[in-house]
Amino acid sequence: MTAGEHADTAVVRVRDLRKHFRVSGGTVRAVDGVSFDILRGETLGLVGESGCGKSTTGRTLLGLTPATAGSVEFRGRDLTGLSRRQLRAMRPHMQMIFQDSAASFNPRHTIGSIIAEPMAIHLDLDRSAIHDRVAELMELVGLKREWRKRFPHEFSGGQRQRINIARALSLNPEFVVGDEPVSALDVSIQAQVVNLMSDLQDELGLTYLMIAHDLSMVRHISDRVAVMYLGKVVELAATETLFEDPQHPYTQALLSAVPLPNPKQERARQRILLEGDVPSPREAPSGCVFRTRCPLAEARCATEEPPYREVSPGRFVACHLVDGAGSNVVPVEITG
C-alpha cells in the first residue's frame, strides 16, 4: 500500500519533520527530515539506538516540543501551526505514556487525583462522574479501585505504569505515543504491560506510536516498523517483512543483534558488527548519515544524501544500494 493509497486512513501524517536544538558550538539535529504515516488502529514501532531521536520525534508529534520545520497532521489538521490554546484543545485526542512512570507523577498526589487531573482540566464533568470514571479506568488497567487513595511510591514499577496508562486513557484519546513504556520494568512485567496495551488497543480502537529499543517487543506488538539512525528514518516496512528481509545495512546490523531463542540457530547465524561509534548529531556526516559505519559505503555516499523513497509497495528505504528490485546490500563485516 503506497502513501497515496492509505492517505485517507492515516490518523497521523508526518512530513519532513525537523527538530534542531541550538547548543554551544553548533546545532544538534535531533530529528532531521522524518516522514511517515500512522494508520488508524495500527501500531507503528519506532526503533533505533539510544540518542537517534526517537523520543524527540514522539514529543514533537504531540507538540510537547515545538517543531523546527515540517508538518504533523492529526486527522487532517497541521499541529505545528496551532497556537497554545488551539493545541490544548487537541490534547484530549492525543496522549503520551512516559518511560519513567515515577518521574511523571507528583509524589504528593494520590493515584486517584493523578488519573482524575486531566479530566478536571479538559472535560466538563462533575466530581461524581470523575470519581466513577477513575474507578472504571483503574479496573480497566488491572488495578483495584480501593487503591485510589494510595500514593505512587506504594506501588511497584509495573503497577505505576498501569497508572500511567490509565491517566493517558482518561480523556478517551484516539492516538497514543508510548515512549519506551516497558524498558524500565522487569522482563516478566514487561510482557504483562505490553499485552495490556494490545488488549486496550483492540477494545478502544487506539492508534499507537510505540518507541522502543527492544526489537523483540516491537515485533510482537507492531504492525509496521520504522528504523531511525541519527535523526533520520532509514527504513520502514511491515513488521514481518522488515524482520525477515531487512534492506538497509543499518537495519540488517540492528536485527542481527537480536538473540534467537533456539540455541542452535543462535550459534549458527552470522552477526554483523559495525565499527566505530554513532556520530554526534551536532556533527552528522555529509551525504548518508550511516556511511561512517557502513561496510559498503561508496564515494557517492559521502556527497549525496540517499533519498527516502518507496522501493516496493509499503516499503521505504534511504540507501543508494537499494533499488526497486530489492537490496543490493551484501554484508561483509560479519562473524560466526
User: Domain ranges in the chain?
Assistant: 7-335
Quote the cell numbers at residue 204: 478502544
User: Do the Cβ atoms of 295 and 333 come closer than 8 Å?
Assistant: yes
CA atoms of 114 and 5, how far apart (whole Å): 41
CA 142 to chain centre: 24
Residue for grid cell 528505504? 317
Residue 254 carries which DSSP code? Answer: H
* pLDDT at 191 (0 to 100): 87
pLDDT for the residue 334: 32
CB 269 within 8 A of CB 328: no
The reported pTM is: 0.89
Instruction: Please name the residue that has the C-alpha cell 497532521.
Output: 73
C-alpha cell read off for 238: 511491515
Domain 7-335 matching CATH 3.90.1150.10: the answer reads no
The pLDDT value given to residue 209: 97
User: How high is the pLDDT of residue 324?
Assistant: 60
Tens digits of pLDDT across the chain (336 residues): 334 444 458 999 999 999 999 988 789 999 999 999 999 999 999 999 888 999 999 999 999 999 999 999 999 999 998 998 999 999 999 999 988 877 889 999 999 999 999 999 999 899 999 999 999 999 999 999 999 999 999 999 889 999 999 999 999 999 999 998 888 788 888 888 899 999 999 999 999 999 998 888 899 899 999 999 999 999 999 999 999 999 999 999 988 877 666 676 656 667 777 877 888 888 889 999 999 999 889 999 999 999 999 999 999 999 999 976 555 554 433 333
> 3-state SS of 119-177?
HHHHCCCCHHHHHHHHHHHHHHCCCCHHHHHCCHHHCCHHHHHHHHHHHHHCCCCCEEE
Spatial separation of the C-alpha atoms in residues 178 and 197, rounded to whole Å: 10
